């Protein structure tokens, strides 16, 4: 056997060098897909936020009489909040939520019908339906508004589960009652399966812990945490609707 043949026999198998190009291509595709996914998530969030915003009230088209101008006390709108402003607030049982429905769009009898529907869902009645004194032209251009004070944050949170396209507005009221003002784009109560599940748990919990059917605080005292432990994921899914 020659020396050359001996050296060839001693060499181990030659391995092909891996080309990094296919792996880099796959990595690039994954990065692009991830970017598209997150852009859609942020885009959807921003789109819903824009869809739930209401235009400020316009000046009254009819001038008040001299007597009315000296005696009228038109309430101010309050501060418009982002859609997720109450995400860290625990909802309270619907029977403890006192809701007054306001006509802010000029639709005849709609406020009355929605007030009855809220009653059927277990919500309390915070007053008779009426025309909106803030949007007195009845042209609030949005889905709806949920108006509440500091004492009614839990009540507003509960109501937002079934009116997820409503804008949240915090004003200076001192009681725990909330107003639901219906806008020109309002298309009904949107109760998802998750929202129904949450309401059922809240109502059952409320009956167990308040068997006498008590009423919420109306003296300005903030509502206490009177709610079962409901996951944030379920509360989030309850409001996942198209606005």
What proportion of the chain, given as a percentage, has pLDDT over 90? Answer: 61
pLDDT tens per residue, range 141-197: 999 999 999 999 999 999 999 999 999 999 999 999 999 999 999 999 999 999 999
Residue 35 pLDDT > 90: no
Task: Identify the pLDDT of residue 13.
Answer: 54
CA–chain centroid gap for 97, Å, is 16
Task: Identify the pLDDT of residue 41.
Answer: 38
Task: Identify the pLDDT of residue 215.
Answer: 47
**CA–CA separation, 7 and 59 (whole Å):** 99
In the numeric block, which tokens belong to residue 47?
A: 């789109």
pLDDT tens per residue, range 219-231: 554 444 467 889 9
Provide the pairing of β-strand 144-148 with 178-182. Answer: antiparallel
CA distances 205 to 164, 199, 210, 226, Å, are: 23, 10, 8, 9
Residue 64 pLDDT > 60: no
Task: Identify the pLDDT of residue 51.
Answer: 86
**What sign for the dihedral angle of Cα 206, 86, 140, 174?**
positive
Residue 93 pLDDT > 80: yes
For the chain, the domains span 76-238
Contact (CB, 8 A) for 149 and 172: yes
**CA–CA separation, 132 and 177 (whole Å):** 16
Structure-model confidence comparison of residues 130 and 32, the more confident one:
130
Task: Identify the pLDDT of residue 60.
Answer: 80
**CA–CA separation, 226 and 210 (whole Å):** 10
Report the largest interatomic distance among the alpha carbons of the chain, rounded to a whole angstrom: 125
Closest CA to 243 of 45, 46, 43, 52: 52
Structure-model confidence comparison of residues 51 and 179, the more confident one:
179
Residue 131 pairs in a beta bridge with 103
Task: Identify the pLDDT of residue 40.
Answer: 40
Structure-model confidence comparison of residues 182 and 217, the more confident one:
182
Structure-model confidence comparison of residues 51 and 218, the more confident one:
51
Confidence band of 96 (pLDDT split at 50, 70, 90):
very high
């Amino acid at each position: 056997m020659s020396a050359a043949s001996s050296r060839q026999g001693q060499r181990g198998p030659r391995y092909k060098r891996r080309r990094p190009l296919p792996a880099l291509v796959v990595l690039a595709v994954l990065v692009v897909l991830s970017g598209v996914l997150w852009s859609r998530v942020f885009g959807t969030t921003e789109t819903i936020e824009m869809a739930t915003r209401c235009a400020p009230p316009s000046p009254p088209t009819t001038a008040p009489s001299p007597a009315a101008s000296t005696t009228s006390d038109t309430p101010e709108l309050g501060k418009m909040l982002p859609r997720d402003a109450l995400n860290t607030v625990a909802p309270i049982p619907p029977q403890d939520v006192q809701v007054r429905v306001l006509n802010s769009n000029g639709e005849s009898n709609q406020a009355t019908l929605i007030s009855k529907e809220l009653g059927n869902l277990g919500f309390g009645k915070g007053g008779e339906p009426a025309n909106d004194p803030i949007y007195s032209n009845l042209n609030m251009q949005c889905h709806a508004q949920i108006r509440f004070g500091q004492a009614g944050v839990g009540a507003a949170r509960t109501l937002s589960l079934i009116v997820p396209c409503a804008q949240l507005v915090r004003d200076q009221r001192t009681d725990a009652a909330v107003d639901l003002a219906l806008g020109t784009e309002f298309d009904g109560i949107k109760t998802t399966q998750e929202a129904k599940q949450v309401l059922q748990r809240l109502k059952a919990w409320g009956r167990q812990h308040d068997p006498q059917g008590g009423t919420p605080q109306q003296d300005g005292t903030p509502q206490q945490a009177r709610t079962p432990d409901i996951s944030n994921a379920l509360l989030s899914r309850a409001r996942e609707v198209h606005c």
